[in-house]
Amino acid sequence: EFERIGPGACILRGFALAGEDGLLSALASIEAEAPFRRINTPGGRPMSVMLTSCGALGWTSDRYGYRYSRVHPDTRRPWPAMPPALRQLACNAADTAGFPGFEPDACLINRYLPGARMSLHQDRDERDLRAPIVSVSLGMSATFLFGGLQRAERTAHVPLHHGDVAVWGGPDRLRYHGIMPLPHHPHPVLGAQRINLTFRKAS
Ligand code: MD3
Ligand code: FE
Ligand 1 atom having least distance to the Cα of 123? 21
ipTM of model: 0.94
- pTM for the whole structure: 0.97
Q: Whose CA is nearest to atom 11 of ligand 1?
A: 196
Q: What is the full per-residue pLDDT of the chain (203 aa) written as tens digits?
A: 789 999 999 999 999 999 999 999 999 999 999 999 999 888 889 999 999 999 999 999 877 889 999 999 888 999 999 999 999 999 999 999 999 999 999 999 999 999 999 999 999 999 999 999 999 999 999 999 999 999 999 999 999 999 999 999 999 999 999 999 999 999 999 999 999 999 999 99
Query: Distance of CA 8 to CAs 1, 14, 109, 167, 168, Å?
Result: 16, 19, 23, 8, 6
Per DSSP, the chain holds a count of helices (H) and strands (E) of: 2, 14
How far out from the chain centre does Cα 199 lie? 7
What is 2-200's CATH number, 1.10.3720.10, 2.60.120.590, 3.40.50.720, 3.40.470.10? 2.60.120.590
Q: Is the CB of 162 under 6 A from ligand 1?
A: no
